[in-house]
């Protein structure tokens, strides 16, 4: 019955530290070697703590951080009246605890002390970018400013992998712009060589 009052939030970071993609020495398939660094884990935890504080001041009755070793926080007092108009109180000042509520402050300290370094911590990624980075010189990337793979004929890349680095935000509009720019460039090249492009 309470599911309709539930919400999910995620702490998104732009990772500072990188991994690598390399060919498997046995069969040549791409392999990924990446481990979230201590610096990036700390940034993610700061986001989780910030989200927890926002949820608390908005009247959340339970907060589940999904950090191994940290139990959910369950509010013991009533929800502030500005969040739940059904609550009637004589003295509204007793609700003015904010994040200074002793129980919540202790839970936040436990969350920060535990950290996000457990081997059981959950990590996911989205909007991967920069694996075929665009560059002005072949030594600095995979594709040239028109999306053409350096040293290869008739091979282009036109997606988020040509970003020089990860943006840290949803790349949809930038990705569409790059794809449009590269596709128009390919069309012009085909037309100048006497071939027709159906774009």
With a pLDDT cut of 90, the percent of the chain lying above it is 51
Distances in whole angstroms, Cα of residue 145 to Cα of each of 31, 61, 141, 142, 171 = 27, 52, 10, 10, 18
What pTM, to 2 d.p., does this model score? 0.69
Predicted confidence (pLDDT) at residue 44 exceeds the cutoff of 70 = yes
Average pLDDT of the chain? 86
């Amino acid at each position: 019955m309470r599911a309709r009052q539930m919400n999910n939030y995620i702490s998104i970071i732009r990772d500072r530290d990188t991994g690598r993609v390399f060919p498997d020495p046995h069969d040549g398939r791409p392999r990924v070697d990446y481990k979230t660094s201590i610096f990036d884990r700390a940034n993610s935890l700061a986001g989780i703590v910030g989200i927890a504080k926002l949820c608390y001041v908005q009247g959340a009755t339970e907060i589940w951080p999904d950090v191994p070793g940290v139990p959910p926080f369950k509010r013991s007092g009533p929800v502030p009246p500005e969040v739940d108009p059904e609550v009637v109180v004589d003295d509204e000042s007793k609700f003015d605890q904010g994040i200074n509520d002793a129980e919540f402050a202790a839970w936040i300290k436990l969350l920060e002390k535990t950290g996000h370094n457990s081997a059981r911590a959950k990590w996911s990624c989205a909007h991967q970018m920069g694996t075929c980075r665009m560059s002005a010189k072949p030594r600095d990337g995979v594709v040239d400013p028109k999306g053409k793979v350096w040293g290869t004929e008739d091979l282009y890349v036109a997606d988020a992998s040509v970003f020089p680095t990860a943006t840290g935000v949803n790349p949809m509009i930038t990705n569409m712009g790059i794809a449009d720019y590269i596709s128009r460039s390919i069309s012009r090249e085909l037309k100048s060589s006497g071939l027709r492009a159906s774009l």
